Amino acid sequence: KAGVTQTPRYLIKTRGQQVTLSCSPISGHRSVSWYQQTPGQGLQFLFEYFSETQRNKGNFPGRFSGRQFSNSRSEMNVSTLELGDSALYLCASMGEYEQFFGPGTRLTVL
């Protein structure tokens, strides 16, 4: 089985722009979660989608949004980028009891 894939792997944007990140889960997995990771902050949960519905949400501003498609692929969007949004964004898909991560998208906001 192919693992979780994320595109793009690296992205550079400027303040005020918006960005869309993509994630394809492991085949058969219906739950997709997104995390933000910054140095020293650990893994901060953004949101989780299951069968195209947002099932859980972390404590992030409304500039962070996401969606899931009928094939379980997911996208997350960040609008009006701020310098503090520079981070590694990780997507993970959930099997029965285990969560598997993608390689991440490194977003740099200048």
Partner 1 sequence: GQQLNQSPQSMFIQEGEDVSMNCTSSSIFNTWLWYKQDPGEGPVLLIALYKAGELTSNGRLTAQFGITRKDSFLNISASIPSDVGIYFCAGLMTNFGNEKLTFGTGTRLTIIP
Footprint of partner 1 (CB under 8 A): 4, 6, 31, 33, 42-45, 55-56, 58-59, 88, 90, 92, 94, 97-104, 106
- Least Å distance, CB 74 to partner 1, is 15
Cβ proximity to partner 1, 13 vs 45, nearer residue: 45
Q: Where are the beta strands (DSSP E) in the chain?
A: 5-7, 10-13, 19-24, 31-38, 42-50, 53-57, 64-68, 74-78, 87-94, 99-101, 105-109
Cβ proximity to partner 1, 11 vs 88, nearer residue: 88
Complete edge-to-edge strand list for the sheet that includes strand 19-24: 5-7, 19-24, 74-78, 64-68
Count CA atoms closer than 13 A to 20's CA, side-chain side. 7
Cβ proximity to partner 1, 18 vs 51, nearer residue: 51
Rounded to whole angstroms, how far apart are CA atoms 28 and 90?
A: 19
- Least Å distance, CB 104 to partner 1, is 5
